């Protein structure tokens, strides 16, 4: 009998360390399942961030290293130089990428580094305990914005996909969501597209996943999905922000 | 330079010689950021490495450079980086990660005066920074301090092998004088670069993509959330460092068995000290020299060879007495120790050094 579903070889058969309702597990699976479908698991090298996903290497069945806070794009730039024929990716949260690692991500994108960054945007610091991130929405409560983020005090949330799309070297940028089955199916297409464009050598590829953090948002997992749709989608519109031109893919 | 054959005498500027030594040592990957007085190194690498099958990448910062080096090293590449004092300070975060993850690297500090931005003239006030860590946690980095451009070439060339053998960063501690001056040198043979597809067999721990689906994946990491696991890891690292203390200590000595006064000096200052020793001899004072070539491990045992005639041991340095602390450990309570120093980019002449040493010696025998 033909199995209708099998567990992807891309994920290690173990429990993850993520909280109930957190979408890291979904993002991990989309990435590794796609690599398996492309026959690239053994040719992939991942770079884990600081944050909840620092132990992503325990769950993703690919060669991986950890990196210091925000430095994953620099680390991946080094990895890619040694192995130009492999698939290289970083997996970073919003504290890691959009705050302490802005220099690294901007310059990796500007250089057109031939790796893919998966950006988990859940509007908050997770592992350190729910502090305000650069992506925290105005009015959103966190442990360092207890009365809600105020524009006059902390500025406005950074839209990373839109910012990076201004750089020539970033050839594919898409923002997707993990808040519903339809969103997730679409997110997987973006993962595949990013890896395929990486393989052409056209330049830097980037997928932003709008994600949940029920623990630090202080809501239940189902309410977290609803909160994402109600609050994050209006400020962080889904869509493709940069597509490579036919010349870029061909060159 | 690339056409220059091995073992032929050539006149080279320090920074370019350091870069050429790294290439010839087989260090195929260089990540750098401009900072005086070592900017000739990234300039040289940007020209030479791509022509010779290597990789040059200009980083967005020294933080970027050290993390590119970590990534390339974790991926099994042979990596060289260089910077100068404030840039080396920015790299310390990465040094700690590299040591914990046991990633090889050859790093060069062409040092200048500090603290802060300090100045661009030579200094040795990075002694603590390079010998005591600088990053967080328990770790050690072997540090070699050449006193000539030829010695720097030889040490960089050797460090390329040591980094792999010990799976640890190796630091070469030079200064702005050596980076900027020219000396006749002999260059070693070009070691072959390791091709990417040969890395997995040479370095079975590296992250290369594991190949076929049933192979074991590799992880390069420094996080250990369980305290007992982290303690065991640090103990393992320190067992390695204990071996390094025995095997990597290097020193040159001149006449310390029967000296009136013994200098301890490294790098550029050791060269000036050699001239001061000649001046003191003319004044009837016999001076000796302990020149640590390795600053960590510091050659403490060499101090046991100081003879009974010696009345005082002088640490001569371009800092406010950082090496002096190691000199005191080496001397113990046997003899008084004194400091002769300049700092901020100032350099003593051999005459100044001799005058100061003579004064110290006369006070010691009163």
Whether residue B77 is found in the same domain as residue B14: yes
Inter-chain residue contact B196 with A82, CB threshold 8 Å: yes
Task: Among A42, A67, A74, pick the best mutation site for testing chain B contact (most B Cβ within 10 A).
Answer: A74
Whether residue B194 is found in the same domain as residue B257: no
Whether residue B85 is found in the same domain as residue B185: yes
CATH number of the domain bearing residue B267: 3.40.50.920
Mean pLDDT of B302-330: 98
Tell me if B269 is assigned to some domain: yes
- Asked if the C-beta of B90 comes within 8 angstroms of chain A's C-beta atoms, the answer is no
Does residue B7 have a pLDDT over 80? no
CB-based contact B202:B76 (threshold 8 Å): yes
Give the residue from B303, B276, B301 showing the smallest Cα distance to B287.
B276
Tell me if B243 is assigned to some domain: no
Whether residue B184 is found in the same domain as residue B286: no
Give the residue from B8, B61, B201, B178 showing the smallest Cα distance to B108.
B178
Domain count, chain B: 2
- Asked if the C-beta of B78 comes within 8 angstroms of chain A's C-beta atoms, the answer is no
- Asked if the C-beta of B208 comes within 8 angstroms of chain A's C-beta atoms, the answer is yes
Which tens digit of pLDDT belongs to each residue from A134-167? 999 999 999 999 999 999 999 999 999 999 999 9
Q: Where residue B352 falls among pLDDT bands split at 50, 70, 90?
A: very high
Whether residue B177 is found in the same domain as residue B305: no
Which tens digit of pLDDT belongs to each residue from A123-139? 999 999 999 999 999 99
Q: How buried is residue B145: exposed, middle or buried, by Cβ count under 10 Å (0-12/13-18/19+)?
A: buried
Q: How buried is residue A4: exposed, middle or buried, by Cβ count under 10 Å (0-12/13-18/19+)?
A: exposed
Mean pLDDT of B96-109: 98
Mean pLDDT of A180-201: 98
Give the residue from B54, B212, B341 showing the smallest Cα distance to A63.
B212
Mean pLDDT of A96-103: 98
CB-based contact A206:A119 (threshold 8 Å): yes
Residues of chain B with C-beta less than 8 angstroms from the C-beta of A53: none
Mean pLDDT of B300-312: 98
Least confident segment among A53-57, A121-125, A225-229, B212-216: B212-216
Nearest CA in chain A to B77: A82
ipTM reported for the complex surpasses 0.90: yes
Q: Of A43, A44, A74, which is closest to B67 when you measure between CB atoms?
A: A74
Residues of chain A with C-beta less than 8 angstroms from the C-beta of B219: 57, 63-66
- Beta strands per DSSP E along B221-270: 251-254, 261-264
Q: Where residue B2 falls among pLDDT bands split at 50, 70, 90?
A: low
Which tens digit of pLDDT belongs to each residue from B121-132? 999 999 999 999
> Peptide bond preceding B297: is omega within 30 degrees of 0, i.e. cis?
yes
Whether residue B180 is found in the same domain as residue B268: no
Whether residue B79 is found in the same domain as residue B188: yes
Tell me if B360 is assigned to some domain: yes
Tell me if B239 is assigned to some domain: no
Q: Of A66, A84, A103, which is closest to B64 when you measure between CB atoms?
A: A103
Domain of residue B259: give its range.
Answer: 252-365
Residues of chain B with C-beta less than 8 angstroms from the C-beta of A104: 60, 63-64, 67
Question: What pLDDT sits at residue A108?
Answer: 98
Tell me if B188 is assigned to some domain: yes
Does residue B214 have a pLDDT over 80? no
B72/A128 Cα distance (integer angstroms): 29
Percent of chain A with pLDDT over 70: 100
Whether residue B122 is found in the same domain as residue B190: yes
Domains of chain A as residue ranges with CATH: 24-250 (3.40.50.970)
CB-based contact B42:B32 (threshold 8 Å): yes
Tell me if B350 is assigned to some domain: yes
Nearest CA in chain A to B78: A82
A152/B27 Cα distance (integer angstroms): 50
Whether residue B271 is found in the same domain as residue B161: no
Inter-chain residue contact B211 with A42, CB threshold 8 Å: yes
Does residue B4 have a pLDDT over 90? no
Q: Where residue A181 falls among pLDDT bands split at 50, 70, 90?
A: very high
Nearest-neighbour CA in chain A from B98: distance (Å) = 10
Q: What is the mean pLDDT of chain B?
A: 96
Does residue B198 have a pLDDT over 80? yes
CB-based contact A105:A131 (threshold 8 Å): no
Residues of chain A with C-beta less than 8 angstroms from the C-beta of B67: 67-68, 71, 74-75, 78, 104
Whether residue B77 is found in the same domain as residue B141: yes
Whether residue B51 is found in the same domain as residue B154: yes
Question: What pLDDT sits at residue B8?
Answer: 82
Tell me if B247 is assigned to some domain: no
What DSSP assignment string belongs to B73-131? Answer: HHTT--EEEEE-HHHHHHTHHHHHHHHHHT--EEEEEEEB--STT--SSB--TTHHHHH
Q: Where residue A101 falls among pLDDT bands split at 50, 70, 90?
A: very high
Mean pLDDT of B191-208: 95
Mean pLDDT of B55-79: 98
Does residue B324 have a pLDDT over 90? yes
Tell me if B138 is assigned to some domain: yes
Question: What pLDDT sits at residue A1?
Answer: 82
Least confident segment among A1-15, B105-119, B323-337: A1-15
Whether residue B183 is found in the same domain as residue B61: yes
- Asked if the C-beta of B104 comes within 8 angstroms of chain A's C-beta atoms, the answer is no
Mean pLDDT of A66-74: 98
Nearest-neighbour CA in chain B from A31: distance (Å) = 15
CB-based contact A169:A204 (threshold 8 Å): yes
Question: What pLDDT sits at residue B215?
Answer: 79
Question: What pLDDT sits at residue A251?
Answer: 64
In B25-61, alpha helices (H) = 40-51
Q: Of B69, B101, B196, which is closest to A78 when you measure between CB atoms?
A: B69
Single out the residue in B173, B198, B223 at which a domain terminates.
B198
Q: Where residue B1 falls among pLDDT bands split at 50, 70, 90?
A: low
Question: What pLDDT sits at residue A81?
Answer: 98
CATH number of the domain bearing residue B82: 3.40.50.970
């Amino acid at each position: 009998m033909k199995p209708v579903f099998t567990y992807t070889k891309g994920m290690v058969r173990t429990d993850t360390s993520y909280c109930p309702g957190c979408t890291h597990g979904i993002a991990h699976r989309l990435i590794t399942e796609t690599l398996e479908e492309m026959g690239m698991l053994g040719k992939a090298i991942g770079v884990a961030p600081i944050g909840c996903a620092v132990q992503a290497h325990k769950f993703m069945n690919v060669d991986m290293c950890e990196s210091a806070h925000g430095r994953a794009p620099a680390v991946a730039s080094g990895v890619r130089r040694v192995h130009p024929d492999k698939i290289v990716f970083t997996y970073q949260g919003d504290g890691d990428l959009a705050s302490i690692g802005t220099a690294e991500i901007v310059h990796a994108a500007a250089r057109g580094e031939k790796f893919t960054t998966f950006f988990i945007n859940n509007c908050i610091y997770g592992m350190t305990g729910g502090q305000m991130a650069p992506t925290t929405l105005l009015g959103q409560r966190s442990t360092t914005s207890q009365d809600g983020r105020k524009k006059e005090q902390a500025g406005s949330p950074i839209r990373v996909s839109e910012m990076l799309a201004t750089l020539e070297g970033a050839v594919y940028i898409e923002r997707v969501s993990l808040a519903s089955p339809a969103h997730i199916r679409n997110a997987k297409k973006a993962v595949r597209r990013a890896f395929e464009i990486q393989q052409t050598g056209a330049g830097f590829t980037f997928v932003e996943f709008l994600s949940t953090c029920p623990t630090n948002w202080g809501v239940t997992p189902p309410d977290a999905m609803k909160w994402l749709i109600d609050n994050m989608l209006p400020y962080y519109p889904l869509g493709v922000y940069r597509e490579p031109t036919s010349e870029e893919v061909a060159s | 330079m690339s056409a220059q054959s091995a073992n032929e005498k050539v006149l080279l500027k320090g920074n370019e010689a350091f870069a050429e030594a790294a290439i010839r040592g087989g260090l195929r990957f260089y990540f750098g950021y401009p900072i005086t007085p070592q900017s000739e190194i990234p300039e040289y690498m940007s020209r030479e490495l791509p022509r010779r099958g290597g990789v040059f990448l200009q980083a967005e910062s020294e933080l970027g450079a050290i993390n590119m080096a970590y990534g390339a090293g974790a991926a099994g590449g042979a990596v060289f980086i260089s910077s100068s004092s404030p840039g080396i300070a920015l790299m310390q975060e990465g040094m700690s990660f590299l040591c914990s993850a046991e990633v090889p690297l050859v790093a060069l500090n062409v040092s200048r005066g500090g603290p802060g931005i300090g100045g661009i003239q030579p200094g040795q006030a990075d002694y603590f920074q390079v010998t005591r860590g600088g990053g967080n946690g328990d770790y050690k980095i072997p540090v070699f301090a050449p006193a000539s451009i030829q010695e720097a070439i030889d040490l960089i060339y050797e460090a390329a092998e040591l980094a792999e053998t010990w799976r640890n960063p190796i630091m070469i501690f030079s200064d702005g004088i050596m980076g900027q001056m020219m000396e006749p040198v002999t260059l070693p043979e070009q070691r072959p670069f390791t091709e990417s597809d040969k890395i997995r067999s040479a370095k079975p721990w590296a992250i290369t993509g594991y190949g076929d689906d049933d192979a074991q994946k590799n992880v390069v990491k420094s996080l250990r959330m369980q305290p007992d696991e982290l303690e065991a890891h640090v103990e393992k690292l320190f067992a390695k460092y204990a071996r390094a203390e025995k095997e990597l200590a290097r020193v040159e000595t001149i006449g310390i068995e029967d000296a009136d006064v013994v200098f301890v000096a490294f790098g550029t200052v050791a060269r000036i000290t050699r001239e001061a020793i000649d001046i003191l001899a003319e004044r009837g004072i016999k001076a000796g020299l302990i020149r640590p070539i390795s600053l960590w491990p510091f050659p403490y045992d060499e101090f046991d060879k100081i003879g009974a005639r010696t009345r005082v041991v002088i640490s001569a340095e371009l800092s406010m007495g950082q090496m002096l602390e190691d000199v005191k450990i080496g001397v113990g309570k046997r003899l008084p120790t004194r400091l002769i120093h300049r700092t901020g980019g100032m350099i003593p002449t051999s005459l100044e050094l001799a005058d100061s040493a003579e004064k110290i010696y006369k006070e010691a025998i009163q």
